[in-house]
A = this chain, B = another copy of it.
């Protein structure tokens, strides 16, 4: 079995992590599929998808702080073109996708894991996330 759906999210801050776990789980229920693997893919070169804790919002700040230290805004060759070289580097390091197993129509996440859409050059009012489910 196979199911694909495109979701859309907006980001509020220049750098933002948005928890998209519940929207993905709703899409899995909608698919009628009980088990398989879920690929989550963001088709934007200043964005990313990651999995980590969202219970304490400070973890997001801690991660953004490390990425800013690694790739400081305004320090890149690409900035001559559109000023977002740091966002491309952060996006390349985090990566555009994750693949996560699901069971009973829900992602098999750990207690402290959420799926988050990352935007490093926002705010962006319409960011696509492509969800693909497959069973093999």
- State the A residues within 8 Å of B (CB): 1-4, 35-37, 39, 41-45, 50-53, 56, 58-59, 61-63, 65-66, 69-71, 76-78, 80-81, 85, 88-89, 91-101, 103, 108-110, 112-113, 128, 130, 132-136
Q: Given B43, B69, B95, B108, which contacts A50 in the complex, CB threshold below 8 Å? A: B95
Q: Given B59, B77, B99, B100, which contacts A62 in the complex, CB threshold below 8 Å? A: B77
- Residues of B near A88 (CB, < 8 A) are 52-53, 59, 62-63
Given contacts A4-B35, A56-B78, A70-B70, contact A130 B113 (CB under 8 A): no
Q: How many copies are assembled? A: 3
A-B contact pairs, 28 of them (CB 8 A): A1-B136, A2-B135, A41-B101, A42-B110, A43-B109, A45-B52, A50-B95, A52-B92, A56-B81, A58-B78, A58-B80, A58-B81, A58-B85, A59-B78, A61-B77, A62-B85, A63-B89, A63-B92, A66-B70, A93-B93, A93-B94, A96-B113, A97-B98, A97-B99, A97-B100, A101-B130, A134-B136, A136-B136
